[in-house]
Structure 1
Amino acid sequence: MVTPERRLPRSVDVRASAKINLHLGVGAAREDGFHPLETVYQAIGLHDELVATEDEAFRVVTHGAAYVDVTDVPVGADNIVARATALMAARVEVEPTADFLVHKEIPVAGGMAGGSADAAAALLALDRLWDAGTPDDELLALAAELGSDVPFALIGGTALGTGRGELVTPIADSGPWWWVVVPSSAGGLSTPAVYRRFDEMFPGADPEPASAAAVISALATHDPHRLGAALHNDLQEPAIDLRPDLGDLLDRGESEGAVRGLVSGSGPTCLFLAESPTAAHALAGALRGSGQPVVLVAAGPVPGAQVVDAP
């Protein structure tokens, strides 16, 4: 008697990129507590990778590169991969089951949307794993339910974000641009805490966020000095107020040759724009030599969530 060959569980492997904000204009808080934003996102070459495998139960196992502390990644129902699974399962009308292995290279709580990248990867992986065939506009709508940065994490490249950041429009970018990324060695910064400090420091903030026009114009020139001059982050001052060491780090990077230093989003990761790949690696070496334990080099823009391997 011939024993039927057992089918191996299907798996889908998705890679999603870190984001940085080249412009982050923040308006005064609305009545619902949200701040209107005008931001320019760019996806850069630091990635989280998620493998989703068919299973009769639900599980998420998270590990990371040596420099990534995953102890602060939420577990249980609060985990963003679990939330993405529940949302996609409700749309497709299937049981929310799958086995996930998440490998993180994007710093946790670093202002680079690592959680959003994982959510985008989970949505895309489950869409393929369950043969859902979700139209792009519906996938983006699901992403927006999970967080303001998740739609961009699906799209990647360079894009203008409005509303709470969830309304995403791709924009022209003459890149590549070279970035030196310095995650904080002293722990993360709470995004709500940074926004609260913004409200305290700027009680008369304009309801309309600052325009991103200067950055959008600079992106078309491929001139790093023009882009450096246009970089803008309304959350940088409150982030530095909460963590003065970030200001010291920005000063050090610029003294070592960066075109411009910038806090990434709500921090505490700091970014440095370099003139070229050679300049980026030289700057990274100088910052390591000054005692920074983790210094990364990445180029952008790169694509958003992408299937690496699928059945």
Structure 2
Amino acid sequence: MSLSRQPERRVHVRAPGKVNIFFEVGDVQSDGYHDVASVYQAVSMYEDLSATTDDEFSISVTGDVDVSGVPLDDRNLAVRAARLVAREVGWEYGVRLDVHKSVPVAGGMGGGSADAAAALVAVNELLDGRLSSAELHALGAQLGADVPFALRGGTAVGTGRGDELAPALVRGRFDWVFVTHVEGLSTPEAYAGLDALRARTDISPSRGVPAVDPAVLQALRGGDAAALAAAMRNDLQPVAVQRRPELGELIEEGVGRGALAGIVSGSGPTVAFLASDERGAAALARDLSDAGHAAVAVHGPVAGARILTID
């Protein structure tokens, strides 16, 4: 079934970036991928995407961050997401996407995945596709492990390749300070570096199925920032710090300035500092900015991809 051209309208969707509070990586599998156990939290740093019908598929990208490295063709996850929805609902024309990015590119915060999630929601609404949340989730999983979480938002445990999600109970809010860097780190390179580290004879033997530390979930349920700080971990962090020693120095600096803990988010190079509360986060962001870092205070958990306006 093909859909006919409709009067032009615009759907505006906002989707959040994320922080990996906990990230345990299993051994590399025969297909080159890794099973993981992760705790994601959506945070108040957003991507905005608008979709309109058009004769062909196209995308424009602006941002509060450097967007020079963002592809403007079918390598872009948002374009691929739009095509998936169009094919699913029988739309034979195109869609124009306009993206404004606030999440750093290649920063380990899921900005590209948030764009894809926003595109799934926006194009489904634009074309009156009526795809269910489960169907959008399945399409998102085809694009990458972080896309289903960007659809869901909140706080979730991710297992398998990271796209098998279960909600995590959270009390209250958690306040974070992100310090971003201009030059990103490649996720595939981070995993390859971890495999190389683990291949050394002096590194621990093969691991079983990765699992989330119960202390992380207990801290979230209790709204206990100090307990969460003590339990946070990222298996990719040693690789990021090895390649960028300044990240380790930055974590020490942030803790010295009052952060409860610091962690490389995902594959990096963004560093996430957990603060005791909103006031502490604001003070830490100010101090780190005064010291020459690109620091911003955010909070979580927040909702996933949501429609803001339909014009």
Give TM class, smaller chain: over 0.9
Alignment of 1:23-38 (within 5 A): 23-38=22-37
Letter in 2 for 1:278: R
Going from structure 1 to structure 2, the CA distance change for 1:139 and 1:61 (only over 3 Å counts) comes to: same
Residue 211 of structure 1, CA deviation: 2.7
Name the amino acid aligned to 1:183: T
Asked whether the 8 Å contact 2:159–2:165 carries over to 1, the reply is yes
Distance between the aligned counterparts of 2:108 and 2:124, measured in 1?
Answer: 27
Which residue number corresponds to residue 248 of structure 1? Answer: 249
Match of 1:297 in 2: 297
Could you say which residue in structure 2 is the equivalent of 1:61? 60
Give the whole-Å Cα distance in 2 for the aligned partners of 1:212 and 1:143: 27
1:168 paired with 2:165, answer yes
**Whole-angstrom distance in 1 between the partners of 2:290 and 2:32:** 43
1:48-197 → structure 2 map (5 Å cutoff): 48-65=47-64, 68-185=65-182, 187-197=183-193
Distance 1:54 1:210 in 2: 43
Per the alignment, residue 274 of structure 2 pairs with 273
Structure 1 runs (4+) deviating above 4 angstroms are: none
What's the CA shift for 1:57? 2.4
Residues of 2 paired with 1:57 and 1:145: CA distance? Answer: 22
Distance 2:198 2:172 in 1: 34
Aligned to 1:4: none
Cα distance between partner residues in 1 of 2:95 and 2:265:
33
Q: Which runs of 5+ in 1 are unaligned?
A: 1-6
Q: Deviations over 1:151-208 (max 9, x none)?
A: 00000000010111011111101130000001113x0001111111100111234142
Q: Secondary structure of the equivalent of 1:19? A: strand
Q: What percent identity do the matched residue pairs reach? A: 45
Partner residue in 2 for 1:212: 213
Q: Structure 2 length normalisation: TM-score?
A: 0.94
Deviation at 1:100, TM superposition (A): 1.1
Q: Secondary structure at the match of 1:271?
A: strand
Q: Which amino acid aligns with 2:296?
A: L
Counterparts of 2:44 and 2:9 in 1: how far apart (Å)? 27
Q: Deviations over 1:268-299 (max 9, x none)?
A: 0000000011111111111112111x111100
- Please say which of residues 75-84 and 97-106 is displaced more in the overlay: 75-84
CA distance, structure 2, for counterparts of residue 248 and residue 262 of structure 1 = 12
Confirm or deny: 8 A CA contact 2:229 2:261 kept in the other structure: yes
CA apart distance, 1:15: 0.0
Asked if the contact 1:38–1:212 (Cα under 8 Å) also holds between the matched residues in 2, the reply is no
Q: Which runs of 5+ in 2 are unaligned?
A: 1-5, 200-204
Q: Partner letter of residue 84 of structure 1?
A: A
**SS of residue matched to 2:222:** coil
Q: Conserved in 2, the CA contact under 8 Å of 1:45 and 1:302?
A: yes
Query: Which residue matches 2:3?
Result: none
User: For 1:295, what is the secondary structure of its paired residue?
Assistant: strand
In the other structure, the counterpart of 2:18 is: 19
* Count of residues paired in the alignment: 301
CA–CA separation in structure 1 for the residues paired with 2:53 and 2:35: 39
Q: Is the 8 A contact 2:55 2:93 kept in 1?
A: no
In the aligned structure 1, how far is the partner of 2:238 from the partner of 2:21?
15
Asked if the contact 1:18/1:46 (under 8 Å) is kept, the reply is: yes
With over 3 angstroms needed to count, the CA separation of the structure-2 counterparts of 1:182 and 1:205, relative to structure 1, is: farther
Q: Is the 8 A contact 2:54 2:93 kept in 1?
A: no
Partner residue in 1 for 2:306: 306
* Structure 2 match to 1:43: 42
